Each structure stands twice: as C-alpha cells, then as structure tokens.
Amino acid sequence: MYAQALDQPEGHRECASADGAALEARFLSRVASEQKVEPKDWMPERYRRTLIRQISQHAHSEIVGMLPEGNWITRAPSLKRKAILMAKVQDEGGHGAYLYAAAETLGAAREDLIEQLLSGAAKYSSIFNYPTPTWADVGAIGWLVDGAAIMNQIPLCRCSYGPYARAMVRICKEESFHQRQGFEIMLTLARGTPEQRRMAQEALNRWWWPSLMMFGPGDADSKHTADSVRWKIKRFTNDELRQKFVDFTVPQAQFLGLKVPDPELRLDEASGHYRFGAIDWAEFNEVLRGNGPCNRERLAARREAHESGRWVREAAAAYAEKQRARTSAAAA
C-alpha cells in the first residue's frame, strides 16, 4: 500500500531566476518524454517536496498498516494462517523500509520522517484507522485493502522518479500474495458454516466503503492533481482508479456469495461499469483529521514500539562505536 491521495496542496513558488526557468523547462521536457529522474539529477524544489511528502506518507501507511493485522497474529485460526499472516505483515514492514529508502534519496532523513509520523504531523492512509474485530477482517483487508493498494500502486511503477518507481515494482510483486491470501480466507469463510458466512459478510460491510475512500477525494475535489500528472507521478485520477477497483471487485464478491453493502450498486450495461452510491466524505475527512475509530490507538502503538526499541538502537550504535575505536587503535 498505500499512496492515498491525501497530501495537501502547497503554495506554488516561481523559479527565482532565468537559469532556474531554463532548468525547469529542460526537466519538464525530459519527464514528458518518459525519461526517468534519478537522485542527483536537477529537479524543481516543488517536485522534490511533493515526492518526499507522498513517498513518506506511503511509507508511514505501510508501517501503520502492520497494526490492524498484527492484532491477529497470535489468534490466527491455524499454524498455516499464522505463518502466512506473519509473512504478510513482515512484507508490509519491508514496503515501509523500501519507501523510506526512496525518500532518503531525495535528501530526507529517515529519522526525521519517522519523527513526523510519531508526532502526528505526517499523514498516513485513512484505512488503517479502522478496527479488526474478527478473523474475517484479516481476510477482508487482504482482499479489499491490498486489492485497492494494487490498483493505486501499479501505475506508480511507471512514476517519473526512478527510486520510487523501482520500489513500487518490488512492492507490487509482493502485493499479489497479500490479496490472494485475503481472498482465500474470505472464500473459506464463505463456504463454511452459516456463522462463518455471517462473519465474512460483516467484514465486507465494514471494509467496503473505507476501501473506496482509499483512492482519495473525487476528481472534482482533488486539488493538486495537475502538477502530479504533469510530473508523471500520477497517471490516473482517483475516480478512474476507484471505478476500476469496483469493476474488478464486485464480481469477486458475487463469486463469494456476499452482498456489497451499497443499495445503489448496479451494472450499467451500456458502459460495462458498475455504478455505485455516494461516498461519505464527511467520515473520510474525520478519519484524516484524527477522529477515526482507531487513530489514537494506532499512533500510541507506534510510539510505544519506537520507545521500546530505543535501547536496541542505542546499544547497536554504542557497539559499532566501540568496534570502530578498537579497529583504529589496532591500526595506530
């Protein structure tokens, strides 16, 4: 996951000099002809800041995203499911690490980015502020949340910034397992007892709308898509990706024999697209503002993990320093 379109617009600054304008013009023409931008290449300051913000929010989302599922590792219904879930959650941690590394190539320090997450200054995907009360939620997350993430992430593999694009290629290769294991959990429950089918349906009811919100505000309200499109960071609009997700997912729900919780959902025969009801953007904005069901719990868990690991980081640094001192003393 999870580059949700939640970054805020920034004031545009004009290029200070004619020199800057020439560099920017050259940059834009290179990007327009699909040449990749690499870390040491000249780039507009706004491009750099937009990317640092987007990549770090994406990284934070991967890291916070470990929590709702991590909640079920000790309670997975079998050893097989437990091993799979651990591998998936570990992948998400890995995705966070790839992305922090990509952000660092732009001059950001990982420690600063993590500090922004822990202080609450940085945003992460709204979806991870919802609870996982049953095992079926783990299935729904893999199927829907990772599914929506894949929709978002595949176009990012062609993003103009090389290190981000390469991180996304790696991530996309791993996401497919996440989605399939989630669907398989849902399938097992859907073919199980009436009680298990009910669990699966309730999990779908909980995750359907938040999953649609993952694509960010509708195009009419999406403020700063223009720059991202021109810079080839974004290739499809939020609404286009959301529609694609709905079109892919509804038949899967039908296969499971589950009902998508949207009374207005219908197939538009002419266009071949599913038309769906209005999204509750007030809820989305509340969650982004920090008032979702689990925002406080998620940040508290991250802070606690960070504090609990502090002695390890300090000990490792002290050990490395001691080794270094020994080596240089021996060489002297």
Member of 94, 162, 218, 261 binding other proteins (CB under 8 A):
94
User: What three-state secondary structure class fits 267?
Assistant: strand
* 123 in Cβ contact with 6 (< 8 Å): yes
Interatomic CA distance for residues 151 and 107, integer angstroms: 28
Query: What would the x/- binding string for other proteins be over residues 283 to 312, using CB under 8 A?
Result: ---------------------------x--
Closest distance to Fe ion from the beta carbon of 248 (Å): 16
- The DSSP line for 47-93 is HHHHHHHHHHHHHHHHHHTHHHHHTTGGG-SSHHHHHHHHHHHHHHH
Binding range to other proteins, per CB under 8 A, among 88-96, 140-148, 219-227, 232-240: 88-96
Task: Write down the least CB distance from residue 82 to other proteins, Å.
Answer: 17
Residue 299 in contact with Fe ion, rule: CB under 5 A: no
Site for other proteins in 174-193 (CB under 8 A): 174
- With CB under 8 A as the contact rule, the residue among 9, 13, 90, 223 that binds other proteins is 90
Q: Which is nearer to other proteins, 48 or 259 (CB)?
A: 48
Contacts of 297 (CB under 8 A, 6+ apart): none
What is the rounded distance in angstroms from the CA atom of residue 59 to the CA atom of residue 54? 9
Residues 168 and 99 sit within 8 Å (Cβ to Cβ): no
Interface with other proteins, residue 323, by CB under 8 A: yes
Omega before residue 161 within 30° of 0, cis? no
Confirm or reject binding of residue 91 to other proteins (CB under 8 A). yes
* Residue closer to other proteins, measured from CB, 61 or 126: 61
Task: Tell me the sheet residues that pair with 161.
Answer: 37
Q: Which of 41, 45, 219, 280 forms a contact with other proteins (CB under 8 A)?
A: 41
Task: Tell me: does residue 118 bind other proteins (CB under 8 A).
Answer: no
For 211: left if phi > 0, alpha if psi spans -120 to 50, otherwise beta; the answer is alpha
Q: Are 106 and 39 in contact (CB under 8 A)?
A: yes
Give the containing element (helix H, strand E) for 266: strand 266-268
Site for Fe ion in 82-101 (CB under 5 A): 92, 95
Rule CB under 5 A: which of 173-202 touch Fe ion?
Answer: 175, 178
Q: Which of 180, 151, 326 is nearest to 244 (CA)?
A: 151
Euclidean distance between CA atoms 162 and 178, whole angstroms: 25
Say if residues 75 and 129 touch (Cβ distance below 8 Å). Answer: no
With contacts defined by CB under 5 A, name the span among 8-16, 23-31, 139-147, 239-247 that binds Fe ion: 139-147
| Smallest gap from residue 110 Cβ to other proteins (A) | 6
Measured distance CA(324)–CA(332) in Å, rounded: 12
Q: Is 161 in the site for other proteins (CB under 8 A)?
A: no
Question: Which is closer to other proteins, CB of 13 or CB of 170?
Answer: 170
Interface with other proteins: number of residues (CB under 8 A): 28
Task: Using CB under 8 A, list all residues that contact other proteins.
Answer: 38, 40-42, 87, 90-91, 94, 97-98, 101, 104, 109-111, 115, 166-167, 170, 174, 310, 313-314, 316-317, 319-320, 323
**Interface residues toward Fe ion, by CB under 5 A:** 1, 62, 92, 95, 146, 175, 178
